[in-house]
Amino acid sequence: MKIKLLAAAALALPLATSCLGPNNAHNGLRNWNATVTETEWVNEVIFLGLNIIPVHGLAMLGDVLIFNTIDYWSGNNPFEDPGPFPHAAFGGAPSGE
- 45-96 pLDDT tens trace: 999 999 999 999 999 999 999 999 899 899 899 999 999 988 765 565 555 5
Task: Report the domain count for the chain.
Answer: 1
Could you list the residue range(s) of the whole structural domain that residue 71 is in? 21-81
Q: Are 81 and 88 in contact (CB under 8 A)?
A: no
How far is residue 31's CA from residue 43's CA, in Å, rounded to a whole number? Answer: 11
Kindly report, residue by residue over 1-22, the tens digit of the pLDDT: 888 888 887 777 666 655 678 9
CA end-to-end span of the chain: 51
- Residue 64 located in a structural domain: yes
Query: For 25-47, how does the pLDDT look when each residue is reduced to its tens digit (9 = 90+)?
Result: 999 999 999 999 999 999 999 99
pLDDT per residue as tens digits for the range 49-60: 999 999 999 999
